[in-house]
Structure 1
Amino acid sequence: MTNTGDDYDLEGQIAEWRAYMHRRRELNRADAEELEDHLRSRISELTEVGLRPDEGFLIAVKRMGSLDELSREFAREHSERLWKQLVLPGEPDTPAAARSRRELPVMVLCAAVAALAFKVPSWFGLDLDDDAGFYTSNFSLFALPALAAYFAWQRRVGIRVIGVLAALFVLGAVAANAYPLDDDSQSIVLTAIHLPLALWLVVGVAYVGGDWRSSRRRMDFIRFTGEWLIYFVLIGLGGGVLTAFTVGTFDAIGLNVEGFIESWLVPCGAMAGVVVAAWLVEAKQSVIENMAPVLTRVFTPLFVVALLSFLVAMIWTTNGINVERDALILFNLLLVIVLGLLLYAISARDLTARPGLFDRLQLALVVSALIIDVMVLVAITGRITEWGFSPNKTAALGENVVLLTNLAWSAWLFLGFVRGRMPFARLEHWQTRYMIVYAAWAWTVVLVFPLVFNFA
């Protein structure tokens, strides 16, 4: 229920409105601040003529003029409030609404391009079974250019940004195909792992409309990444059910469709799913609660218990960490998950709220991961000292150093926040700025490692 009278928290409502405006892609921070000044001015005018603060706020939001569409979406997010009656009298056919209707056919076109891109190499005699190395190195180049094109159209980016995007994708294609790598070389596996990350951050440039220097927009892309991953997994699970039913139903009439499924349905569907998942995230934005922060709340305490139990067990048994390849992959994935839990907790947090129990759990999670990362680094260094450098061990060493730096400074900032000595916003800014480091490392592995290790 909306408060009225003297106990109405006007500043709290304005802060909520401001936070909402800062999340909108249509506005930069300067525009949002100007609009807030405009809103405050209207509220003052209305209260001076005798309206209560709550009435002034509601009417001022309604009268924002060119912000009608944004105000309408703001009311949808807070449907339990009286604003819905004031701001949602109807749904006029605005240019924004017309553009929204065009997004579906554009998305379908981009998804179709991504799906067909996977089949283009077969037109030149390359087979998925016989040329597995080519497909392993290039699979991220089939769908991500189409996804970047979709965002470039949606954000109306300029020619300069389009040129940068195209150049980076061409660079990725050259790195994946110009080096003389054998199918069993370690560099092919490293390219298959790091090129998608490098190109995903290129997609991020399209997502933010070329405004990569904006910390707020980079955080928007982080939020999008978490939601996209959830939707993509759900689409994959649904696709698995569809595949099983397709095989079963056609088998019932004596037709074997496994060749079609292996050659067309699964790979092309996966490429198209990359674009469809992104469209679903955008379509439900500002209407439904984001799922990634909700899952973060569920899994953070569980991971804290798991990591602390691992540390206790390792001390109790005095067993060292095995640094074989599978173990290194497992620990790197663990650190990435911890980082993801941290990022999505940050993305959904009120920056002005005081530290609470969940923040202390997050600090315990980061410190536990930091300790494990140090132990893994010691083990990797010992193995390199004994056996020498290789592409895999060097990549693992570098990735752990990159993650160690992030986790160490995050732990310091988190500790300062929990102790009341630092604002939480510093932790958010650190994470968004650190994305540049991930991009630089991914491109280094893709472009430099094959040369350094003689294409091994």
Structure 2
Amino acid sequence: MNNINFITENMDNPRELERLFRTEPEAFKKSFSSAWEQNPDSQVLAVWQERLHFKVTENADKTTFLRRNFFFMGILAVLAGITTRLLFYFTEQEVIAPINLVFGVLPFIAIYFVFHNPSKRNVVYALASLFLISGIYMNVLPLEDKDSTIMAYLHLPIFLWVVMGLAFTGNEHAKGSARLAYLKFNGEFGILYACMAISGMALTAISMQLFKFVGTDFTEFYMSNVVVFGAAALAVVAAYLVTMDIKLAKNIAPYIARIFSPLVLATLLAYLIAVIAIGKSPFLDRDFLLVFNGVLLCVLAVTIFSITERGTDEKMNVFDYINFTLIAFALLIDAVALSAIVFRLSSYGITPNRIAVLGVNLLIFAHLLWIILAYVRFQGDKTGPLAIQDAVTKYLPVYGLWAAFVTFSFPLIF
């Protein structure tokens, strides 16, 4: 049958038009123009006219936007790579602390965020000031392996992560939806960066092997220059790809969240059973207490990742029950860890490490408690799933404040 006649005869049958379009989209598009010219008064064909041709103008604008963003991203990626390589040289010479390497990447991603999502001047000034103050302060500290300085180094990335959240959310930094988008960005960024990093490692192995075949070993040069430069530049590229709505990370992230949640729960159960069977005590074993806290942080990260990838449907599903169980176990672990930390403080005295760990555990305990209470209210049909996501997003600045306190005050206090 002639497609033009078929379209004309089925102007009042949208289902048949949709079926033909899905069966032969190219043929439909070619025939539609003639059918539309013959029936310009048809409301159904008018809708199809907009549907088929609206994207032409949209794509032209989008192409210009993508080209501009891509060009700017390329400049920032190169600058990030060069800056990181220079900072790496000074860390090798022991002129500056290795923590300074974060300033070779994060400021450039923040600049891209501001370019991609323009913010008010006060937000831009705040971002510039926070990065500048952090960089100066870190390099004023003496290059000594003191506990207070090490705590400052460890908490700086957490503080800067919250600052990056301000750059990402921009003028909407107070909105829960914007903060949730930032958490989703982190998950998708991690997935995409890991995929590209694996490809980069494969390329590195092949490149070094090929040069070995011709009797040249440039492993040290390659690792110190190409790999360091590439790792930094790749972070900016990954941030660009995620903000450009690349489908790979967005499609795979929910599945990873659903796979990892039950796996982490099973691993956590096995770990707790083994701890009880072996008789390990975090009260007396310092290293074991650190591992205990590491497990707690991993559970918190997986739980938050799973919640951010949750849909907005109103029904409680099996993955919500898994998350609920994970949080309950995490609260139990945190209670034991808090008891052990208080015991060590009363028995062995106050140190920067113990105060920092105590503070982090108290923050995490309060956050987990808020999330699990939101789940309880959700189970009782008193709230929707957005209350759970709010419990995650509204607490994020607290981590930033604590990290800032440890970073900037511990070296002075201790």
TM-score (norm 2): 0.82
The structural deviation recorded for 1:316 is 4.5
The structural deviation recorded for 1:86 is 6.4
Q: 1:323 to 1:366 in 2, by over 3 A?
A: farther
User: Is 2:201 the counterpart of 1:236?
Assistant: no
Among 279, 298, 308, which residue is 2:240 paired with?
279
SS state of the match for residue 343, structure 2? helix
User: Is 2:94 the counterpart of 1:128?
Assistant: no
For structure 2, the residue ranges without an aligned partner over 5 or more in a row are 1-11, 16-46
Aligned equivalents of 1:325 and 1:272: distance in 2?
Answer: 38
Q: 1:138 to 1:247 in 2, by over 3 A?
A: same
Aligned equivalents of 1:85 and 1:354: distance in 2?
Answer: 38
Aligned equivalents of 2:354 and 2:346: distance in 1?
Answer: 11
- For 1:273-292, what per-residue CA distance to the aligned partner results, in whole angstroms no more than 9, with x for missing partners? 21111112123346874433
The aligned residue for residue 415 of structure 1 is 376
Q: 1:442 to 1:97 in 2, by over 3 A?
A: same
User: Is 2:309 the counterpart of 1:364?
Assistant: no
The aligned residue for residue 171 of structure 1 is 133
SS state of the match for residue 128, structure 2? helix
User: Is 2:406 the counterpart of 1:445?
Assistant: yes
- For 1:357-412, what per-residue CA distance to the aligned partner results, in whole angstroms no more than 9, with x for missing partners? 22111111100111011111111221122221222222111111111111112112
SS state of the match for residue 131, structure 1? coil
User: Is 2:56 the counterpart of 1:91?
Assistant: yes
Aligned equivalents of 2:48 and 2:69: distance in 1?
Answer: 26
Alignment of 1:13-162 (within 5 A): 87-89=51-53, 90-92=55-57, 93-121=59-87, 127-131=90-94, 134-162=96-124
Structure ranking higher on relative contact order (CA contacts 8 Å, 6+ apart):
2
The aligned residue for residue 257 of structure 1 is 218
Segment drifting more, 425-434 vs 383-392: 383-392
Identity over aligned residues, as a percent?
A: 30
Paired amino acid for 1:91? V
Segment drifting more, 107-116 vs 267-276: 267-276
SS state of the match for residue 139, structure 1? helix
Paired amino acid for 2:252? M
SS state of the match for residue 307, structure 1? helix
Aligned equivalents of 1:186 and 1:232: distance in 2?
Answer: 32
Aligned equivalents of 2:270 and 2:410: distance in 1?
Answer: 36
The structural deviation recorded for 1:52 is 11
Q: Is the 8 A contact 1:137 1:189 kept in 2?
A: no
The structural deviation recorded for 1:258 is 2.1
Paired amino acid for 1:87? R
Q: Is the 8 A contact 1:152 1:207 kept in 2?
A: yes
Q: 1:243 to 1:198 in 2, by over 3 A?
A: same
The aligned residue for residue 341 of structure 2 is 380
Q: 1:53 to 1:191 in 2, by over 3 A?
A: farther
Segment drifting more, 392-401 vs 305-314: 305-314
The structural deviation recorded for 1:325 is 5.4
Q: Is the 8 A contact 1:181 1:187 kept in 2?
A: no
Segment drifting more, 306-315 vs 411-420: 306-315
User: Is 2:293 the counterpart of 1:332?
Assistant: yes
The structural deviation recorded for 1:181 is 3.9
User: Is 2:208 the counterpart of 1:247?
Assistant: yes
Paired amino acid for 2:356? A
Higher helix share: 2
Aligned equivalents of 1:108 and 1:294: distance in 2?
Answer: 31
Q: 1:364 to 1:131 in 2, by over 3 A?
A: same
Aligned equivalents of 2:149 and 2:238: distance in 1?
Answer: 27
The structural deviation recorded for 1:326 is 4.3
The structural deviation recorded for 1:448 is 0.8
Segment drifting more, 430-439 vs 339-348: 339-348
Paired amino acid for 1:342? T
Among 389, 392, 395, which residue is 1:431 paired with?
392
The structural deviation recorded for 1:209 is 2.3
Paired amino acid for 2:237? V
Aligned equivalents of 1:88 and 1:192: distance in 2?
Answer: 55
The structural deviation recorded for 1:320 is 2.0
Aligned equivalents of 1:223 and 1:84: distance in 2?
Answer: 35
**CA RMSD across the alignment:** 2.7
